[in-house]
Structure 1
């Protein structure tokens, strides 16, 4: 206990915990891809919207299986270049830039805070140091979302899997955040929405963790177990 508080800091996951999309993630990317069809054709490439989207998700699923099993992160520019090479048989730099900008812009525009996010952060920042540890293939997406939603003012430190090179639940990414904030695992609480990525990863790093289950969870045995299972982030204020 530090100064009457259980922790010195609270570290958060972002997507699904503090931030959501105004439409589902798949729709966001598909809207971006559909908007690109005419620009792609103007560069001399012939592909239909449906074929483009089908190839995109097939490639995404393949890479996602790899990154989940290996706990490594493939930067967005890398996997988009791989996708473009597969479908068009070459990597055109202009085409790659168009794809990357379109996907990033779409994800940034669609991001929004959950209603309970802002009041919770405003109260916590008065008492705790705050940080974020998040899985993403693009640090630019994360930083632009935080700036657009004016959430960057709350976080002393943010680390993404795109920067670190590995994904949660690998405990090293949690240790890195703790080290950069000069914290010990017992000094910080982690708050996230994924049993696999957030609870398992933070507990392996020696941290306590609250699970945010906005849609509820089925009754089951968690291993490792979160300290608390809450239906929104505002409820963590009752336990700090």
Structure 2
């Protein structure tokens, strides 16, 4: 069966943060300093619900001062303003649209980061499987099901590309999708499901 849709991870795949401030990570650290031990699922909980920084602070116990929250919110604004597209994103997304291939996003991220990304893209995706809307994070199968349902595609009709092997290659493949790892730092093609640039996606679509 031919590929009908290509789903992209976002950060590290289509866009990068030029000036990272990591406000959500700072929030967890501040909470730890206030006496709340860090939990292994803190990240998944923050990314699988539509929460802003203040709501996340409340979810995790609320032991953060108003001044600290305002500083975190300023960090978040600065970080979002520094998001830029990778050079190969625009030609790849545009070419896929021209070929009649559905374009989607499938990303683990906190709610404040989703809308700003959409304003940077040259084409609007057919569907966005944001973790905070899916209620699940990659590589949990539920987010891939949410993606396929939103695209009205069977798993074998969807190609997933991203910079995290477990979330963007192994997880999708176990679900029945075509998963590929984007490794921009690789010196040469690995031949094990890795890509060096988004430009290779078009050839993959034709081959599959």
Q: Note the alpha carbon deviations across 1:79-119, whole angstroms, 9 max, x for none.
A: 2335783243xxx6x975x4564344223201111111111
Q: Note the alpha carbon deviations across 1:151-172, whole angstroms, 9 max, x for none.
A: 4x33011021112222111011
Q: Name the counterpart of 2:195.
A: 230
Q: 2:41 aligns with which of 51, 55, 66?
A: 66
TM-score, with normalisation over the residues of structure 1? 0.69
Q: Name the counterpart of 1:19.
A: 15
Q: Are the equivalent residues in 1 in contact too, given 2:164–2:181 (CA < 8 A)?
A: yes
Distance 1:181 1:160, change over 3 A: same
Q: Are the equivalent residues in 2 in contact too, given 1:9–1:187 (CA < 8 A)?
A: yes
Q: 1:105 aligns with which of 62, 77, 91?
A: 77
- Cα distance in 1 for residues equivalent to 2:28 and 2:140: 31
Say yes or no: does 1:145 pair with 2:117: yes
Distance 1:229 1:116, change over 3 A: same
Say yes or no: does 1:86 pair with 2:63: yes
Aligned CA-pair RMSD: 3.5
Q: Are the equivalent residues in 1 in contact too, given 2:46–2:110 (CA < 8 A)?
A: no
Q: Are the equivalent residues in 1 in contact too, given 2:80–2:113 (CA < 8 A)?
A: yes
Map residues 107-146 of structure 1 onto 2, 5 A cutoff: 107-127=79-99, 128-138=101-111, 140-146=112-118
Distance 1:168 1:11, change over 3 A: same
Map residues 188-227 of structure 1 onto 2, 5 A cutoff: 188-216=158-186
1:142, CA displacement in angstroms?
A: 1.2
Q: Higher helix fraction: Structure 1 or Structure 2?
A: 1
Q: Which runs of 4+ in 1 moved over 6 A?
A: 56-61, 69-72, 217-220
Q: 2:149 aligns with which of 164, 173, 179?
A: 179
Q: Note the alpha carbon deviations across 1:112-165, whole angstroms, 9 max, x for none.
A: 111111111111111201111110121x32112221x134x3301102111222
TM-score, with normalisation over the residues of structure 2? 0.79
**Structure 2: gaps of 5 or more residues:** none
- Cα distance in 2 for residues equivalent to 1:112 and 1:58: 33
- Cα distance in 1 for residues equivalent to 2:79 and 2:37: 18
- Cα distance in 2 for residues equivalent to 1:15 and 1:167: 14
**Structure 1: gaps of 5 or more residues:** 34-51, 221-225
Distance 1:83 1:191, change over 3 A: same
Q: 2:134 aligns with which of 164, 171, 175?
A: 164
